[in-house]
């Protein structure tokens, strides 16, 4: 049978009983009068719907009469689409109204009524068309009606079944009890280790200490499921500078204490975009002036005009030494720009091809040169190609309909994307954005529910007020034991690494095959660890096997190529730099334990 989602017009070929019952033909529904209920498809769901839309001063009612015992339930899903507080959709028991909804409650929601005594019950649903005003579909909807003994749960499932939360912060767990019409949807939540992660009755899990804990949900019938919670390091202590629209002030706050804001002084005009690089703050104000300043200062030097209507966000790209920005023209077209750091002139790169051309209000660039923006209407995170302006959708931030004044700020020291978010009066603050999924989590409120924009940080490795040296720690083995050497060099240079020796190891030896991290032109303190593999373990799977001997033999006769690292591991016989069948033979004997 094919149903058409009419939202309020043509009806599918189904009976009202088929449309409204949870269990086929369990209850019979009666609808009388001039405006009877009819079966429709609403939100892709077969259901019953009122029939008096657009008829002022009328009602449309459907009812069913059943015998119930004390403790039995009447459960159903209902929805309404009308002008809020002008029209009403009511549920009554034996002629007495017990519940009502109004407005655009278009997502079906469950409702439960528990019989206090045994007897006959008449349940009725009535849509009251009381005014001439019409909004939405002007209808009430009901489906999945069930009356009788409470149905029990059959399972519970977490989604997702793994959550990461920072120490000191919280996350909301989500689960589903099935079937959804089970009367008792409650679960009991417990933590395997409350010293790592605690959980309350509402599923709010708190990171207590770094580590892993398992949260178990248990239903009324004893069914269980688990969610693994990983608690990671707390929010770092990073200072963000930004412009606060309510006060027109430059402000600062720390990411782990965003509720306390320091006022640093007023700018002469609104300044929605700022960024930092090499001791200099670059900004663009609402009059399209491109200026320079210093961190924490409102003293400006005007460099020039951008030549565009409004820049809403800008960011310095450490990967190529250029400034990029997003904003709109006089024709209200939103574009990606490159900003000339000597003149301030804005050159259009292109218009980001987001869904429905939803503009990118805010924008930031990672240390590696990857650019990201969040759209105004949909709250989607996109990665932005800085050469073409083409975008790749990553995911929903969880914050729809964001406002104008906000800021993405990349923490170059800790590799975290922060977002001073603003999307409605009671939903704003500092958030952390997952650059892999787009999801964002709340870190804390920003004082005064502030609209914050033009945010920037001063990386420790690019702060002229701080020492310019960095330390590279090399971890490697000496005589079978791990040791380390620290090398201090100017930021942006390449340290001279120690030369690790090959290490004794049975049945052969461990060969040094390189370092795990590239330390060329190092910008900040890092740790580099030597990588080793056993001589003869050509495929580097941790074991010397016949397969390694065959691979060496194939190379020796010219039918297989080896990488430079594999060539080192294959030179088992004599270590003479030449791979022969002798190397394969020795490897074969080792693999056989001979």
Q: Would the pLDDT of 120 be above 70?
A: yes
Residue-level pLDDT at 503 = 83
Average pLDDT over every residue of 12-29: 89
HSE toward the beta carbon, residue 159, CA cutoff 13 A: 6
- Phi and psi at 3, nearest 5°, equal -110, 145
**Looking at domain 239-462, which CATH architecture does it have?**
6 Propeller (2.120)
Least confident range from 24-28, 194-198, 285-289, 413-417: namely 24-28
Residue-level pLDDT at 7 = 44
Q: Would the pLDDT of 225 be above 80?
A: yes
Q: Give me 485's structure tokens.
A: 């050497």
HSE toward the beta carbon, residue 470, CA cutoff 13 A: 22
Domain boundaries, the chain: 16-148, 155-232, 239-462, 469-503+512-534, 546-591
Residue 416 to residue 408: CA distance in whole angstroms = 10
Q: Give me 534's structure tokens.
A: 């056993």
Residue 392 to residue 527: CA distance in whole angstroms = 33
Average pLDDT over every residue of 145-155: 94
Q: Does domain 155-232 have CATH number 2.40.50.180?
A: no
Residue-level pLDDT at 1 = 29
Report how far apart, in Å, the C-alpha atoms of 395 and of each of 379, 399, 404, 436 are: 9, 11, 20, 8
Residue-level pLDDT at 424 = 63
Identical fold for domains 155-232 and 469-503+512-534, yes or no, is yes
Alpha-carbon radius of gyration of the chain = 33
* pLDDT tier, 232 (very low <50, low <70, confident <90, very high otherwise): very high
Digit-coded pLDDT (tens) for 462-491: 887 765 788 999 999 998 889 999 999 888
SS (H, E, C) 297-348: CCCCEEEEECCCCEEEEEEEECCCCEEEEEEECCCCCEEEEEECCCCCCEEE
**Closest residue by Cα to residue 457 from 281, 245, 260:** 281
Report the percent of the chain where pLDDT is more than 90.
Answer: 67
Average pLDDT over every residue of 333-339: 92
Residue 566 to residue 575: CA distance in whole angstroms = 13
Digit-coded pLDDT (tens) for 501-534: 988 888 888 889 999 888 888 878 899 999 998 9
Residue-level pLDDT at 2 = 30
Residue-level pLDDT at 54 = 85
Average pLDDT over every residue of 284-296: 95
Least confident range from 5-9, 356-360, 559-563: namely 5-9
Residue-level pLDDT at 385 = 97
The DSSP 8-state label assigned to residue 447 in this structure reads: G
Beta bridge partners of 336: 326, 350
Average pLDDT over every residue of 196-212: 96
Digit-coded pLDDT (tens) for 375-392: 988 889 999 999 999 999
Q: Would the pLDDT of 96 be above 90?
A: yes
Digit-coded pLDDT (tens) for 538-584: 988 888 999 999 999 999 999 889 888 899 899 988 778 889 999 89
Least confident range from 22-26, 424-428, 583-587: namely 424-428
The DSSP 8-state label assigned to residue 164 in this structure reads: E
Digit-coded pLDDT (tens) for 405-445: 789 999 999 999 999 988 765 557 899 999 999 999 999 88
**pLDDT: which is higher, 54 or 282:** 282
The DSSP 8-state label assigned to residue 575 in this structure reads: T
The topology under which CATH files domain 469-503+512-534 is Immunoglobulin-like (2.60.40)
Residue 369 Rama label (left phi>0; alpha psi -120 to 50; beta): left
* pLDDT tier, 330 (very low <50, low <70, confident <90, very high otherwise): low
Residue-level pLDDT at 517 = 85
Digit-coded pLDDT (tens) for 296-328: 999 999 999 998 878 999 999 999 999 999 998
Mean of the per-residue pLDDT values of the chain: 90
The DSSP 8-state label assigned to residue 135 in this structure reads: -
Q: Give me 40's structure tokens.
A: 């429709």
Residue-level pLDDT at 4 = 33
* pLDDT tier, 134 (very low <50, low <70, confident <90, very high otherwise): confident
Residue-level pLDDT at 3 = 33
Q: Can you state the percent helix, strand and coil of the chain, rounding each to 5?
A: 5, 50, 45
Q: Would the pLDDT of 25 be above 60?
A: yes
Q: Give me 443's structure tokens.
A: 């870190």
Residue 502 to residue 341: CA distance in whole angstroms = 50
Residue 33 to residue 90: CA distance in whole angstroms = 17
**Closest residue by Cα to residue 567 from 480, 576, 559, 588:** 576
The topology under which CATH files domain 16-148 is Jelly Rolls (2.60.120)
Residues with Cβ within 8 Å of 559's Cβ and at least 6 positions away in sequence, in order, are: none
Q: Are 362 and 373 in contact (CB under 8 A)?
A: yes
């Amino acid at each position: 049978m094919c149903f058409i989602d009419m939202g309020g017009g043509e009806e599918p070929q189904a009976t009202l009983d088929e449309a409204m019952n949870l269990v086929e033909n369990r209850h019979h529904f009666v609808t009388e009068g001039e405006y009877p209920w009819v079966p429709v498809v609403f939100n892709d769901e077969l259901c019953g719907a009122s029939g008096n839309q657009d008829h002022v001063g009328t009602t449309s009612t459907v009812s069913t009469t059943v015998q119930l015992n004390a403790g039995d339930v009447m459960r159903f899903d209902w929805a309404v689409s009308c002008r809020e507080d002008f029209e009403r959709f009511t549920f009554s028991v034996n002629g007495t109204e017990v519940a009502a909804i109004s407005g655009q409650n278009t997502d079906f929601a469950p409702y439960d009524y528990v019989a206090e005594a045994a007897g006959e019950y008449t349940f009725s649903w009535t849509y009251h068309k009381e005014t001439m005003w019409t909004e939405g579909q002007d209808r009430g909807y009901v489906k999945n009606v069930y009356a009788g003994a409470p149905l029990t749960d059959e399972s519970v499932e977490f989604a997702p079944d793994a959550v990461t939360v920072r120490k000191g912060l919280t996350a909301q767990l989500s689960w589903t009890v099935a079937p959804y019409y089970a009367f008792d949807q409650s679960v009991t939540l417990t933590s395997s280790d409350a010293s790592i992660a605690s959980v309350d009755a509402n599923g709010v899990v708190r990171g207590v200490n770094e580590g892993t804990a398992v949260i178990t949900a248990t239903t009324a019938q004893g069914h269980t499921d688990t969610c693994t919670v990983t608690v990671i390091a707390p929010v770092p202590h990073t200072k963000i500078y930004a412009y606060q629209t309510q006060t027109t002030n430059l402000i600062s706050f720390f990411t782990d204490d965003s509720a306390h804001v320091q006022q640093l002084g007023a700018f002469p005009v609104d300044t929605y975009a700022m960024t930092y690089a090499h001791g200099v703050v670059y900004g663009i104000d609402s009059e399209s002036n491109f200026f320079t300043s210093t961190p924490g200062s409102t003293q400006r030097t005007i460099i020039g005009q951008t030549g565009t209507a409004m820049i809403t966000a800008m960011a310095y790209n450490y990967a190529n030494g250029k400034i990029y920005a997003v904003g709109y023209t006089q024709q209200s077209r939103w574009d990606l720009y490159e900003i000339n750091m000597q003149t301030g002139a804005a050159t259009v790169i292109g218009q980001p091809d987001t869904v429905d051309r939803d503009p990118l209000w805010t924008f930031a660039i990672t240390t590696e040169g990857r650019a990201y923006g969040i759209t105004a209407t949909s709250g989607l995170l996109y990665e932005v190609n800085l050469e073409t302006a083409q975008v790749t959708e990553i995911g929903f931030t969880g914050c729809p309909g964001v406002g104008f004044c906000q800021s993405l700020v990349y923490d170059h020291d800790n590799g975290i994307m922060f977002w001073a978010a603003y999307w409605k009066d009671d939903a704003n603050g500092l958030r952390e954005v997952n650059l892999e999924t787009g999801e964002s989590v709340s870190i804390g409120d920003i004082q005064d529910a502030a609209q914050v924009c033009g945010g920037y940080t001063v990386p420790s490795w690019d702060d002229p007020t701080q020492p310019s040296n960095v330390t590279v720690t090399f971890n490697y083995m000496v005589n079978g034991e791990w040791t380390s050497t620290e090398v201090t060099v100017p930021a942006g240079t390449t340290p001279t690494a120690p030369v690790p020796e090959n290490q004794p190891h049975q049945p052969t030896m461990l060969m040094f095959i390189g370092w795990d991290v590239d330390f060329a032109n190092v910008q900040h303190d890092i740790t580099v660890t030597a990588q080793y593999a056993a001589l003869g373990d050509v495929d580097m799977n941790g074991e010397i096997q016949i397969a390694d001997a065959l691979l060496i033999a194939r190379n020796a006769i010219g039918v297989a190529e080896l990488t430079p690292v594999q060539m080192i591991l294959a030179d088992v016989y004599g270590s003479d730099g030449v791979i022969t069948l002798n190397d394969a033979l020795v490897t074969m004997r080792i693999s056989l334990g001979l």
